[in-house]
């Protein structure tokens, strides 16, 4: 199992990015959460099988059509896995 914290930079708010993250995670069986941050970035945690998390990260680098993901910061984190994937309120 792998657990990562992700911060997406670029045009990632107001373009459906959080729902895109949730859909990508759920399609791979990855749990965690996603939220907008006040600085204009989007933060998420992903918890799941190594291959599934890697696949979700590849999708997050692309983002939805209206987005422009410039960088994706990824760091390993503690496993805070839950039963589902949540969209949380802005930090």
Distances in Å between the alpha carbon of 87 and those of 34, 36, 37, 49? 5, 9, 12, 20
Distances in Å between the alpha carbon of 55 and those of 27, 88, 89, 91? 10, 22, 25, 26
Active site residue 22: no
For the record, the structure tokens of 75 come out as: 């760091």
pTM of the model: 0.93
pLDDT tens digits along 1-23: 999 999 999 999 999 999 999 99
**Number of residues in the chain:** 91
Distances in Å between the alpha carbon of 78 and those of 4, 40, 45, 91? 8, 24, 10, 19
Active site residue 36: yes
Residue of 2, 18, 22, 62 marked active site: 18
Domains located in the chain, CATH noted: 2-77 (3.30.70.100)
pLDDT tens digits along 21-41: 999 999 999 999 999 999 999
pLDDT band, very low/low/confident/very high, at 81 (cuts 50, 70, 90)? low
pLDDT of residue 2: 94
């Amino acid at each position: 199992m792998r657990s990562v914290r992700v911060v997406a930079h670029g045009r990632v708010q107001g373009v459906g990015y959080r729902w895109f993250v949730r859909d990508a995670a759920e399609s791979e069986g990855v749990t965690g959460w996603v939220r907008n941050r006040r600085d204009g970035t989007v933060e998420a945690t992903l918890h799941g099988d190594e291959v599934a998390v890697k696949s979700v990260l590849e999708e997050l680098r692309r983002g939805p059509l209206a987005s422009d993901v410039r960088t994706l910061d990824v760091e390993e984190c503690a496993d805070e896995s839950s039963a589902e994937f949540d969209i949380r309120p802005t930090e």
